[in-house]
């Protein structure tokens, strides 16, 4: 399931994040890639765990916390601190699958990456190329969103970033361990949640049908969730 989430960050938050990144050092993106991904990866990143990454990441984590669509789509159990990448002219990331298991910095714990998120930090008119291409069971999807918008996709999917031919593309990316490991089940719950919101916008909450659907959602979540 691919879910686009508009306006995760307000324009002033995009500006604040960019301001932090502008004053930071960029390092070779191969540092955080596994063996196969490293050979496919040609980009720059802010160093993981650096003060800049933590500060800018906190702005994003706060925004995610108040975003009902992200929470409904990802059903997050744990979110890794956001990372930041940059593709200048000539840079790209060939097709790869994100690593399944990630260390949680400073926690002495590992987590499973179920959901990948890319949050765009550059307006599309700032660069040519740099499309995120995600392959799922329905084919290949090309994604290029306004600054502050995000795309959520299964970490199991093959994806790539096409070569930049002009300008510079800045983005944040991060992984979420979901309470629901299976993408198909997550999609069912997301659709059901959206339908319930729709019904609740026209019917009072004490209608037996509304109550029944809400119960059904929570009981499915209870049945499937792994904490
Ligand atoms: Ni990736």
Average pLDDT, the chain: 95
Residue 88: exposed, middle, or buried by beta-carbon count in 10 A (0-12, 13-18, 19+)? Answer: middle
Does residue 219 share a domain with residue 142? no
For the segment 42-93, what is each residue's pLDDT rounded down to a tens digit? 999 999 999 999 999 999 999 999 999 999 999 999 999 999 999 999 999 9
Does residue 38 share a domain with residue 123? yes
Rounded Cα gap, residues 111 and 114, in angstroms:
9
Ligand 1 midpoint to CA 110 (Å)? 18
Does residue 79 share a domain with residue 39? yes
Please tell me what DSSP assigns to residue 80.
Answer: P
Does residue 26 share a domain with residue 136? yes
Does residue 54 share a domain with residue 137? yes
Q: Is the pLDDT assigned to residue 33 strictly greater than 80?
A: no
Q: What mean pLDDT comes out for the span 188-196?
A: 98
Look at 175 and 106; give whichever has higher pLDDT.
175
State the pLDDT confidence band at 178, using cuts at 50, 70 and 90: very high
Does residue 208 share a domain with residue 130? no
Ligand 1 midpoint to CA 182 (Å)? 19
Strand-pair partners of 152? 3, 117
Does residue 212 share a domain with residue 151? no
Ligand 1 midpoint to CA 159 (Å)? 6
Residues 50, 52, 54, 60, CA torsion sign? negative
pTM of the model: 0.95
Half-sphere exposure of 173 (CA within 13 A, CB side): 24
Alpha helices in 75-182 (DSSP H): none
pLDDT at residue number 203: 96
Does residue 160 share a domain with residue 214? no
Ligand 1 midpoint to CA 173 (Å)? 8
Ligand 1 midpoint to CA 41 (Å)? 9
What CA–CA distances, in Å, run from 96 to 33, 100, 160, 213?
Answer: 10, 12, 6, 39
Ligand 1 midpoint to CA 200 (Å)? 37
Does residue 212 share a domain with residue 142? no
Q: What is the CATH number of the domain that holds 102?
A: 2.60.120.620
Tally the domains of the chain: 2
Kind of pairing between the strands at 44-46 and 26-28: antiparallel
The whole domain housing 27 covers: 3-178
Q: What is the CATH number of the domain that holds 193?
A: 4.10.860
Ligand 1 midpoint to CA 96 (Å)? 6
Q: Is the pLDDT assigned to residue 36 strictly greater than 80?
A: no
Q: Is the pLDDT assigned to residue 35 strictly greater than 90?
A: no
């Amino acid at each position: 399931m691919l879910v686009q989430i508009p306006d995760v960050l307000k324009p002033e938050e995009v500006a604040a994040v960019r301001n932090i990144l502008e004053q930071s050092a960029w390092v070779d993106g191969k540092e955080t890639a596994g063996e196969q991904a490293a050979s496919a990866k040609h980009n720059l990143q802010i160093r993981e765990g650096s003060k800049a990454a933590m500060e800018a990441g906190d702005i994003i984590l706060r925004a995610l916390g108040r975003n009902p669509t992200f929470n409904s789509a990802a059903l997050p159990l744990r979110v890794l601190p956001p990372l930041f990448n940059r593709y200048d002219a000539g840079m790209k990331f060939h097709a790869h699958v994100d690593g399944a298991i990630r260390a949680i910095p400073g926690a002495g714990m590992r987590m499973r990456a179920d959901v990948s998120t890319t949050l765009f930090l550059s307006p599309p008119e700032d660069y040519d190329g740099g499309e995120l291409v995600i392959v799922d069971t329905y084919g290949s999807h090309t994604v290029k969103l306004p600054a502050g918008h995000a795309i959520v996709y299964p970490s199991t999917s093959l994806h790539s970033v096409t070569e930049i031919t002009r300008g510079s593309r800045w983005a944040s990316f991060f992984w979420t361990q979901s309470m629901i490991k299976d993408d198909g089940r997550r999609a069912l719950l997301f659709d059901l949640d959206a339908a319930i919101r729709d019904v609740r916008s026209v019917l009072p909450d004490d209608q037996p049908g509304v109550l029944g659907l809400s119960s059904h959602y929570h009981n499915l979540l209870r049945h499937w969730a792994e904490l």
